[in-house]
Structure 1
Amino acid sequence: MKSGKVWLVGAGPGDASLITVKGLDCIRQAQALVYDRLVSAELVQQAPGDCEMYNVGKNPDRHPVPQPQINQLLVDCARRGLNVVRLKGGDPYVFGRGAEEAEALAQAQIPFEVVPGISSAIGGLAYAGIPVTHRDYASGFHVITGHLRQGNEPQDWGQLAKLEGTLVILMGMTQLASICQQLIAGGKPASTPAAVVMHASQQRQKIAAGRLDTLVEQVAAAGLTAPALIVVGNVVNLRECLAFVPEQLPLAVIPPRMLS
């Protein structure tokens, strides 16, 4: 039997309408859809009625389907001749384990293609009114994971504190207090603007913004929890000027088929 193909598709930061045209068309032609917990239900519903559906979503503290099983699922579906869409939040290659899945497919000689998505590290912050760069405030940015593979050395936040520009931290909420403390100990001024964005780009988006030394208290007072984005840098000061509130926007609408 001829092998099927796997598309690793980025679903974007949360708002369903932020998916790319190509990504949406892939979903609408999928014969098997393997999707994550944070992917919009509206996108999942775009799959054909006879599409095989596999929810492999992970919780912050529990992975009901281990990564090696997800890799094997993609291989097995393709070997049955199916066209498979692996739908992942944000961009597949930005801390989404997409590269690990692509490696598994390459090793199994399964054809695959990557359809990039809007990373929450950029698009999610934009919806919060926080640009990752600005000529007056940050000439660069760094995207950092707060959650490393088990057994790896922890992030050296003291060294990361010395970096210029904007720090965007994904999967770091469970260590928020420690991260803030270590950044300050490493030389970041306690007064450095900082913010946390929860449910970025969605109508339920919530933001807590302040300083590095007060952020933990502000996040607790606002009731923000994981998963959420952490951003540190002077660009946070632009939030009130640049913010546009998703609650005031029309409901996101998935457009009809755009590609033949």
Structure 2
Amino acid sequence: MSGFVSFVSSGPGDPELLTLKAVDRLRAADVVLYDDLSSGPILSHARPDAELVSVGKRAGRPSARQEHVNRLLIDYAGTGARVVRLKSGDSGLFGRLEEEILALRAAGIDFEIVPGVPSAMAAAAAARIPLTRRLTARRVQFVTGHDVTGALPQDLNLAALADPTATTVVFMGKRTFAELARLLIGAGMSPQTPALLAESVSTPAQKIVRGTLGTMEEIIAREGGDGPALILLGPLADTD
């Protein structure tokens, strides 16, 4: 007998930003495998008798290996359980969703994906800005600030990222932003490009700090905490 896995996106952290489908799947789950950023009050929607298993991954901290997470999904579903794999933000954005999907497919286990509010959209909402603007910000691009080793990816399209008419959102980029900023300036991006640090978005610890590409390294050093953060670059980042 095989169970079923629901990949549930929990949004940026505020339980009020959960979708109705996400709440429904949490209430029905026998097992919830959750990320660190999807814990706390969000887990209150799970049944009292549901098994809650932490499999969180945080940069620079001891984390569950991806192979172990895959094995847990297969083993729990193999017992016939209804499994929720709870991921922060939207699971399809830098959430290692594909690795887990491939493992389930190889094991013959069915699944669904429940989308959620991406942290980039929540950050823009918290900063009271749109991500696009006619004529001056027609394109939005998302990029990760580190690769599997924790270093800045070496295959970045710097010409695209330095486009002054695009809104660029850097995920997981605090540790590598100084290097990224130097590369972007070298690729022609103005140091005066508006920039915004959005940390712990939609939680009580939320922090929004505005600056420029040239000052963001200092802002991160001075204002950055240990919460999850995004860095927004582009013409809209200085708007309030």
> Normalised by the shorter chain, which TM-score bucket?
over 0.9
Query: Residue 227 of structure 1: CA displacement?
Result: 2.1
Give the counterpart letter for 1:54 in structure 2.
V
Name the structure 2 match of 1:46.
Answer: 45
Name the structure 1 match of 2:159.
Answer: 159
The 8 Å contact of residues 173 and 225 in structure 1, kept in 2 or not, is answered as no
The 8 Å contact of residues 168 and 232 in structure 1, kept in 2 or not, is answered as yes
- Listed one character per residue, the Cα deviations across residues 184-227 of structure 1 (whole Å, up to 9, x for unaligned) are 11111111000110011222211221111111112323244452
The 8 Å contact of residues 208 and 219 in structure 1, kept in 2 or not, is answered as no
Name the structure 1 match of 2:119.
Answer: 120
The 8 Å contact of residues 199 and 206 in structure 1, kept in 2 or not, is answered as yes
Give 1:1-260 correspondences, 5 Å limit: 2-150=1-149, 154-156=154-156, 158-163=158-163, 164-238=165-239, 240=240
In the alignment, the residues of structure 2 paired with residue 30 and residue 99 of structure 1 have an alpha-carbon distance, to the nearest angstrom, of 21
Query: Residue 102 of structure 1: CA displacement?
Result: 1.1
Change (3 A) 1:15 1:155: farther
Query: Residue 46 of structure 1: CA displacement?
Result: 1.4
- Secondary structure at the residue paired with 2:142? strand
Query: Residue 149 of structure 1: CA displacement?
Result: 2.5
- Listed one character per residue, the Cα deviations across residues 151-194 of structure 1 (whole Å, up to 9, x for unaligned) are 99524363343434111010111111111111111111111000
- Secondary structure at the residue paired with 1:168? strand
The 8 Å contact of residues 142 and 170 in structure 2, kept in 1 or not, is answered as yes
Q: Cα RMSD (Å) of the superposition?
A: 1.8
Give the counterpart letter for 2:175 in structure 1.
T
In the alignment, the residues of structure 2 paired with residue 167 and residue 87 of structure 1 have an alpha-carbon distance, to the nearest angstrom, of 26
The 8 Å contact of residues 60 and 226 in structure 1, kept in 2 or not, is answered as no
23-32 vs 61-70, greater mean Cα deviation: 61-70
Q: TM-score, normalised by structure 1?
A: 0.86
- Secondary structure at the residue paired with 1:202? coil
Structure 1: state its 5+ residue gaps.
241-260
- Secondary structure at the residue paired with 1:167? strand
Give the counterpart letter for 1:156 in structure 2.
L
- Listed one character per residue, the Cα deviations across residues 11-49 of structure 1 (whole Å, up to 9, x for unaligned) are 001111101100111001100000000114111121111
Number of equivalent positions: 238
Name the structure 2 match of 1:245.
Answer: none
Give the counterpart letter for 1:228 in structure 2.
A
In the alignment, the residues of structure 1 paired with residue 160 and residue 60 of structure 2 have an alpha-carbon distance, to the nearest angstrom, of 25
Percent identity, aligned pairs only? 38
Give the counterpart letter for 2:122 in structure 1.
G
The 8 Å contact of residues 33 and 55 in structure 2, kept in 1 or not, is answered as yes
Query: Residue 107 of structure 1: CA displacement?
Result: 1.1
Change (3 A) 1:40 1:125: farther
Change (3 A) 1:146 1:223: closer
21-30 vs 148-157, greater mean Cα deviation: 148-157
In the alignment, the residues of structure 1 paired with residue 152 and residue 68 of structure 2 have an alpha-carbon distance, to the nearest angstrom, of 21
Q: TM-score, normalised by structure 2?
A: 0.93
The 8 Å contact of residues 5 and 85 in structure 2, kept in 1 or not, is answered as yes
- Secondary structure at the residue paired with 1:106? helix
Query: Residue 148 of structure 1: CA displacement?
Result: 1.6
